[in-house]
Amino acid sequence: MRALIVLVLLAVLVMAATCYESHESMESHEYLNPFLNRQRANGFIRDDTGLRAVLQERIRERNKAPQERQREICEDFYLCEQYALNHGYPAAYRHYFGRRRNK
């Protein structure tokens, strides 16, 4: 009988030691509400259409139209950008960079 009581007490101590809820696990917000709402769940999981859109954007960045390249070149040069405010980007590009290209 004494051995049975000792085994029961030992089992209770082992169970208490392994099933103890620590304070750190209670701090977690997931303890109270383990589920995410749809907006938060969609924030880090992308569907195929989102990946396809990213791929198309990367392709578009590589293959820019000539007018877009000219506008970016003109935006990088301060005088060309100021000229473009009054006369437009095509005229500003021709004014500052058109003559160099023909030589």
User: Mean per-residue pLDDT for 28-36?
Assistant: 63
pTM for the full predicted model? 0.40
79 is in which domain, residue-wise?
65-102
Q: pLDDT grade, residue 16 (50/70/90)? A: confident
Say if 55 falls within a structural domain: no
pLDDT at 101 over 60: no
* Cβ within 8 Å of residue 77, ≥6 positions away: 96
User: Mean per-residue pLDDT for 28-48?
Assistant: 64
Say if 97 falls within a structural domain: yes
Domain count along the chain = 1
Q: pLDDT grade, residue 55 (50/70/90)? A: confident
Q: How many CA atoms lie within 13 A of 87 on its CB side?
A: 13
Tokens of 83: 């000229």
With both helix axes pointing from N to C terminus, report the angle between 66-76 and 78-87 in degrees, rounded to the nearest 10.
120
- pLDDT, residue 57, reads 80
